[in-house]
Amino acid sequence: MQDPEFATAWQEAEEEFSIAREVIRARTAAGLSQRELAERLHTTQSVIARLESGAHAPSVSTLKRVAEATHSKLRIALVPAVSPGSTP
């Protein structure tokens, strides 16, 4: 974490994994399999698997569709950035 480029890459990946975890949480809370969520979104199970992998950040539009399909509410927050080495 001493390398600023590494720290930035780590933080960006963490945000994407956090989104993926929330999609998984919403899907499982709704009692849906990946296939069932895919059917509600008119897509394929493999698309849902990629979404849940955290490999890339989904669009807000996609997140809105997931929220609707899982009877969830989408909330997006902008919070103050914390510089490396400082505490929140």
Domains detected in the chain: 4-69 (1.10.260.40)
Q: Is the dihedral of CA 25, 26, 31, 34 positive or negative?
A: negative
pLDDT band at 12; cut points 50, 70, 90: confident
* Gap between the Cα atoms of 34 and 49, Å rounded: 7
Tell me the whole-structure pTM to 2 decimals.
0.77
pLDDT tens by residue, 21-57: 999 999 999 999 999 999 999 999 999 999 999 888 8
Query: What does the pLDDT read at residue 25?
Result: 97
Average pLDDT, the chain: 89
* Gap between the Cα atoms of 36 and 51, Å rounded: 14
Q: Are 7 and 81 in contact (CB under 8 A)?
A: no
Concatenate the DSSP letters of all residues of 55-70 into one string.
SSPPPHHHHHHHHHHT
Query: What does the pLDDT read at residue 88?
Result: 54
